[in-house]
Amino acid sequence: MSIFITGTDTGVGKTHTALQLLRRLRANGRSCAGFKPICCGDRRDAEFLLSAGANGLTIDEINPLWLKTPAAPQIEAVNINIERLLDAFRKLAAQVDDVFVEGVGGWMVPVRSDYFVKDLAVEIGLPVLVVTQNRLGCLNHTLLTVRSVQAAGLRCAGVVLNSLARDPDIAQTTNADILARVLDVPLLPELAEKTAELPPEWIQILGLGG
């Protein structure tokens, strides 16, 4: 199952989640690849995705557009060819079983003045996985993002709540329980590097059961 991975913000763990999915599925014999349509700043995320995905691919197949400024794509004075990005996705999807598309920044980051990450996800047409960071404020950001995904006519496959805190505060210890009660989509466990198996919740949304 191919998925579009978006975030409630930048730096919430989209690449980490994509990498863990790629590694686990490849270990189970699936042919899969990550796809980063746009990189802003360095190209490390795309390089990580390339190394974790199927053999024989190139960095330009994984990341067809590399913008050097570490900010929203719209800031650079270039005419971003959306059809080129879509064509790169279609060509990659024809080579592997599963593609995990990692959006740039969050759901409403402007790619052009009239075109947002949301619009790219709609044109690609995959179920959307929302990644958020377990911290104060994530409840609002998560619910807004999930509702926007659904309003765009796409299926939200679930929400991943990532956590880096070693000494969690009250918000971090209660966010998961609150989200589980108010979301109408699955709340999925974080894919930690130390755990090799896919949790049952992930197996279900990826359609790998049975």
- List residues with catalytic annotation: 36
Q: Tokens 């067809």 identify what position? A: 64
Do 123 and 115 meet the contact criterion of CB atoms below 8 Å apart? no
Q: Which residues are within 8 A (CB) of 15 and not within 5 positions of it... i.e. 6 or more apart?
A: 45, 48, 49, 102
What tokens were used for 168? 């969690």
What distance in Å separates the CA atoms of residue 151 and residue 130, rounded to the nearest whole number?
14
**Residue 162 backbone dihedrals phi, psi, to 5 degrees:** -90, 150
Q: Tokens 């958020």 identify what position? A: 132
The alpha carbon dihedral of 139, 134, 205, 180 has a sign of negative
